Structure 1
Amino acid sequence: MIREHFEFRQTIATILADDPRHIAAARSGMMAARQEVERQITLDPYFSATLEPYTPENPGRAVGRMARAAGEAGVGPMAAVAGAIAWAGVEAMVEAGASFGLIDNGGDIALVSDREVKIGVFAGGSSLSGRIAFLLPPEEEILGICTSSATVGPSISFGIADAVTVFSPDVAAADAWATAICNRITTDDTSVLDALPGTGIQGVLAIVGDVVIRWGDLPRIVQAKVDERLITAGRSPV
């Protein structure tokens, strides 16, 4: 397996692949999506500034995905930028013939896989951080596994959760909903999860301190020892 670090401005990602050609495809796909987002921000700075749903006129593919996902989740479109860029990268890998490809864009993951994959959970100061992982079966279709945290990383959050991980074949939606859920969920109030049926979200795992909240269909969770050196840390996307 090839592991490659990708960094361009605020985008900091890890690419996993079996073939150097698929690494190149991932880089190209991410760059194309990122450049589309940058053009949108240049033409319409409000797109990157708003924390409310917003759909620009005639959006491109990545921007349109971000706006749609954010509108459904009730957050600003930049809440879905990392997922949308990772999604574009893995789509390019598949188009190049990859049966295995994973992009971790600062905790927002898109993957396609012909094998079992273990994905560790990093949850800040929680005692569960680095001790559990998702054991994913082979995934013939692209899957998004996106995580938001109020206690880890540079992104804006209005919540208290140490980690909220969301699974969906719509990677932008997984990213947007991870933000929306993290903004609102507490150990006493999980009502934000009531909005998920019909959205395409498959499952949610939220960690608040030492409390674990589950919703929907989640992969098997196993004990693990997560190597923090493998964590892809991103910068604020704005």
Structure 2
Amino acid sequence: MYQKAHFQFKQTIVTILADKTEFIDIAKEEILKSRLIIENYIAQNPFFEVTLEAYDIDKNAPPLILKMIEAGNTFDIGPMSAVAGTIAGAAVEKMKKCGASFALVDNGGDMAIFNQTDKPTVVGIYAGSGSVQNLGFSVDPSDEIIGICTSSGTVGPSISFGKADAAIIFSKNLPLADSAATALGNALKEQGAENIENALSVVSNVDGIDGAVLIQGENIGFVGKVPQLVKANVDYDIITKG
């Protein structure tokens, strides 16, 4: 039985799962640490927070900030496109280093998973009121941290310039996954299967991205390596949201 906690600090709202309570506390500490790094950098560099375009590489920035800049620059979008995935990834990385065999942090749909148990993790898909309901991805155990990041133009408060119900990215690079999900969601400007195929080309040949799924209404597109789709009893009341 996993330990579970809902944790909120300012704009960061997360669900944390771990095999022991001590790892929940470790995740919370790392989330606060990551937020402090980001807040301190923004205080000195306000443009970092508001730009929607690529940000100049700052060689003097903390490593966490550099990861965000590099992720956003991959798609010519702002570094804050990577913020939720970066924080989730840092927390799970710390949990892993401290000995967790199972650790999961869901930061508003941007999720990091470390699972060394003998069972897969089923991650439900939430695409609003669209036709994709009660389905999930069966994510196999791995020695590495798996990132699953989602962006939507129809669900949630995050900025998106597209019309995707769900743009989902799979990557072991959490900042990259988060920025890629934003870029993929932005790329879907119109409805239709052909437009989904064209949008997926934005992420299909990017190093570090394992796979992507794009959902809009009754249409769904896949590219790369994606975990198996399975039926899932998705409890929408437990989705991490404000």
Give the alignment's TM-score, normalised by structure 1: 0.94
What one-letter code is carried by the residue in structure 2 that aligns with 1:11? Answer: T
Deviations 1:47-85 (A, max 9, x none): 010000103521112211110011002211111000000
Select which of 203, 213, 220 maps to 1:212. Answer: 220
Paired with 1:138 and 1:108, the residues of 2 have a C-alpha distance of 18
Q: What residue ranges of structure 1 are gaps of 5+ in the alignment?
A: none
- Superposition map of 1:13-162 within 5 A: 13-57=14-58, 58-114=60-116, 115-129=119-133, 131-162=134-165
State the alpha-carbon separation in 2 of the partners of residues 92 and 17 from structure 1. Answer: 12
Q: Is the 8 A contact 1:12 1:232 kept in 2?
A: yes
Query: Which piece of structure 1 moves more, 68-77 or 190-199?
Result: 190-199
Listed as ranges, the gaps of 5+ residues in structure 2 are none
Query: 1:149 Cα deviation (Å)?
Result: 0.4
C-alpha displacement of 1:179: 0.3
TM-fit CA distance, 1:191 = 3.0
Aligned-partner residue type, residue 170 of structure 2: F
> 1:227: which partner in 2?
235
CA distance in 2, matches of 1:184, 1:203: 16
Deviation at 1:173, TM superposition (A): 0.5
Percent identity of equivalent pairs: 42
Secondary structure at 2:77 match in 1: coil
- Opposite residue 229 of structure 1, the aligned amino acid is D
Q: TM-score, normalised by structure 2?
A: 0.93
Counterpart check, 1:202 vs 2:210: yes
For residues 88-137 of structure 1, what are the alpha-carbon distances to aligned partners after superposition, in whole Å with 9 as ceiling and x for unaligned?
A: 100110111111100000000001002310000000120213x2100111
Deviates more, 1:112-121 or 1:185-194: 185-194
Q: In structure 2, what is the Cα distance between the partners aligned to 1:111 and 1:77?
A: 22
Query: Runs of at least 4 residues of structure 1 off by over 2 A?
Result: 185-196
Q: Is the 8 A contact 1:136 1:220 kept in 2?
A: yes
1:148-187 matches, cutoff 5 A = 148-185=151-188, 186=190, 187=192
| Higher mean C-alpha deviation, range 99-108 or range 53-62 | 53-62
For the aligned residue pairs, the C-alpha RMSD in angstroms reads: 1.2
